[in-house]
Structures are given as structure tokens and as C-alpha cells.
Structure 1
Amino acid sequence: MDAVALTSINEGTPVSLIEAMAAGIPVVASAVGGVPDLMGEVREEASGCRMAERGILVRSGEPLSLADAILFLLKSRSRSAKMVDRAREYVLRRYSMERLLGDMKQLYSEVLQNDSGSR
């Protein structure tokens, strides 16, 4: 079983996690910066781990919690698979090319509209 472990002490919104989620790889990550938002709502807590909708969060600098989270992935394959499915669906919807193009089109339209009104 593959998994991605992100053990940062500081992070924005890590592209490495977005890519892993899009590829259907389970993720365990330190709960820093934008990572908790990416992982979604916490559904349960156990052994220093927070089981979120789309991955597992651990406290930065707590290697035993990280180890517990990885063991959870290995022992609870069906729950891990559900997390992976939710993560993949979320990332493909939120970070798709269509969404990006739509957001850019809207931004340019707003800028042009504001610019033409100021003349």
C-alpha cells in the first residue's frame, strides 16, 4: 500500500497532498497551515490522530502519532479506501482545469468591467 506522509512544521496548501489525493493515494499530514482545510471535517480522534473526511491529521512534531496514523491506514483498509474516494472526488472537483478556467474568466470579466466603469 502506498501512502503520503507530510510532516511539515509550517505549510500553506501543499500541492504534494493535492496531487496524492488526485492520484488516489491516502494521506497523513501535520495539521499546519492550510492542511486541515484540505483534509475536511474531523470525524473522530484517536491516539493523537484526527480522522478527517479526506485524510488523517497529526500534530506536528509527534512521530508516535504519525506512526499510529500510518498503522491505521494499513489496518483499516476499507475506511482508508473511503477516505481516498472522498479525497479524490474533492480534489478533482475543486482543482479541475474547468474550474480554473471558469475562475480565471470570471476574474478577467470583473477586472474589465471595473476598469471600463472608471473611465
Structure 2
Amino acid sequence: MKYVKTWLLVLWSIIAQNIHAQTDPSFPVVGQFSVTNSSETTIYDQVIISQNTFTILKNGVVLKQFRIVEETTEGFKIEQYFSENDYPKRDRQRFTIKIDNFNTNEYYVTLYFTSKTENIHLYKNQ
């Protein structure tokens, strides 16, 4: 079992590197950001916004990945990204990321869920 966990960690690292390599330069690539809700703040290493995905990484490992379904003037409409083998398409969670202040060093991002709102601050790589 330990061997399998190690192998999976290596596989995730390779996937994270490939996602980073495929990042579309026309979309912003930003650095450390924090997710704050009523009970805690979680610090992550990196978020990558590529042509069709919004990927959250910590220590080089992909934690969450979302599919961008539409880009609007306010930001991106995204849905939880799962492989077809994991969940049927009808079970995907869809919500909106609103991104403000694209031309400053700080992004203000709001994830709008059906039942709750989470505010996220993203800080650009310097």
C-alpha cells in the first residue's frame, strides 16, 4: 500500500508539471493565494488559469481542478473538473469565479456556489 501511495504522489507531480507547461500565456498565471471562510484561512502555493482549466496546487501537487465553461467580463464560469470515470457529467458542480483588478498586483476573486460564497485573494508572482 505504501508503494502505491508513493507512486500516486509521483504521478500527481508529473501531472502538475504537465499542466503548468501547457498554461496558455494569454491567461494570467498567479502565485500564492489564500482562501478565507468564516472558520479558517488556507494558504496554497499556486493557481494556474489556462485556456480551459482553473487549477489549484499546493507543494506542486494538484489539489483541485475546475473546467472553465465560459469567460465573461466579470470572470469565468467554471465547473468542478472530474474525469468521466469519476462522476457522470450531471453531477458536476457549476459556479462562477469573479476576478477584479486584473491590472494590479492583487486579484480579488469570489467563488459563487449555490449555497455559499467563498472569497479568495490571489497575489501575483512578483
TM-score (ref. length: structure 1): 0.26
More strand by proportion, 1 or 2? 2
- The higher relative CO (CA closer than 8 Å, separation ≥ 6) is in 1
More helix by proportion, 1 or 2? 1
Question: Which of the two has higher C-alpha Rg?
Answer: 1
